[in-house]
A and B are shown apart, each in its own frame.
Chain A
Amino acid sequence: DSGVTQTPKHLITATGQRVTLRCSPRSGDLSVYWYQQSLDQGLQFLIQYYNGEERAKGNILERFSAQQFPDLHSELNLSSLELGDSALYFCASSVQGTGGGNHYGYTFGSGTRLTVV
């Protein structure tokens, strides 16, 4: 158990629908990062939050949004879903903006597998 909790583990939904993915960071970590991993691609950075504020944005579609709450958990909202949105969505956390813990890197959750049918 990495300490980063993602729910749900699996999600199957229809095109056009909206889903919310949830992430609880490791205790003490202030930063949350969201990544998308498709079958033919590596880890694509979507967005980062630090202590409730948006810190960095990657290749995140306008149909996607995220937020980080006062208790530091984060939610990734995906709307108007398309077949191509099917992927693994990972959340990672770190103490500061760039890293923390025993190493200055990210701790990843187990991911949410989203299937759009």
Chain B
Amino acid sequence: GESVGLHLPTLSVQEGDNSIINCAYSNSASDYFIWYKQESGKGPQFIIDIRSNMDKRQGQRVTVLLNKTVKHLSLQIAATQPGDSAVYFCAELQYGQNFVFGPGTRLSVLP
């Protein structure tokens, strides 16, 4: 499928290495955050979420870290695989109403 976001920031990692994707969010009152993965030609898919009363949450090979002091969110992917190549978006729930999405980061996994 056709790629989206050709001008997105890109992170290139070697297969097997760990990846860290960062996101700055805008609203200090936001209390719920989600990371989405978007593969080429597909819609965004939920990866992991975290509430503001937590600073870390782990899933299968993924960990989300939340630093409310500096309004920063990160997604760590362990042992990155070729199938992890995609665009990753963070989303924050603002005012308990709607999600606002970050600009996205393209992850490229090198063989």
A→B interface (CB under 8 Å): 2, 4, 33, 35, 37, 39-43, 45, 48, 56, 88, 90, 92, 97-99, 103-111, 113
Contacts of B7 in A (CB 8 A): 39-40
Contact B44 A43 (CB under 8 A): yes
Are B2 and A43 in contact, CB atoms less than 8 angstroms apart? Answer: no
A106 and B34 CA atoms in complex are apart in Å by 10
Could you say which residues of chain B place their CB within 8 Å of the CB of A106?
99
In this complex, what residue of B is CB-closest to A107?
B46
Given contacts A37-B4, A98-B97, contact A108 B89 (CB under 8 A): no
A-B contact count (CB 8 A): 69
How far is B85's CA from A97's CA once the two chains are assembled, in angstroms? Answer: 31
Binding site for A on B (CB under 8 A): 2, 4-8, 32, 34, 36, 41-46, 49, 89, 91, 93, 96-104
* With A110-B43, A111-B43, A113-B2: A104-B103 Cβ-Cβ less than 8 Å: no
> Are B34 and A90 closer than 8 Å at their CB atoms?
no
Please name 13 further chain A to chain B contacts, defined as beta carbons within 8 Å, in addition to the given A37-B5, A105-B34, A110-B42, sorted by A numbering.
Answer: A2-B43, A37-B4, A41-B103, A42-B102, A56-B97, A56-B98, A88-B4, A104-B49, A105-B49, A107-B46, A108-B43, A110-B41, A113-B2
Give CA–CA (A108, B4) in the complex, Å: 16
Known contacts A42-B101, A45-B98, A98-B98; decide if A109 and B34 are in contact (CB<8 Å).
no
CB distance from B94 to the nearest CB of A (A): 10
Contact A39 B43 (CB under 8 A): no
13 contacts between A and B (CB under 8 A): A37-B5, A39-B4, A40-B6, A41-B5, A42-B103, A43-B89, A98-B98, A99-B93, A103-B46, A105-B34, A108-B36, A108-B45, A111-B42
A42 touches B43 (CB 8 A): no
Which residue from chain A places its CB closest to the CB of B3 in the assembled complex?
Answer: A39
- How many Å lie between the Cα of A41 and that of B104 in the bound state? 9
Residue of A nearest to B100 (CB): A45
- Chain A's nearest CB lies how many Å from the CB of B9? 11
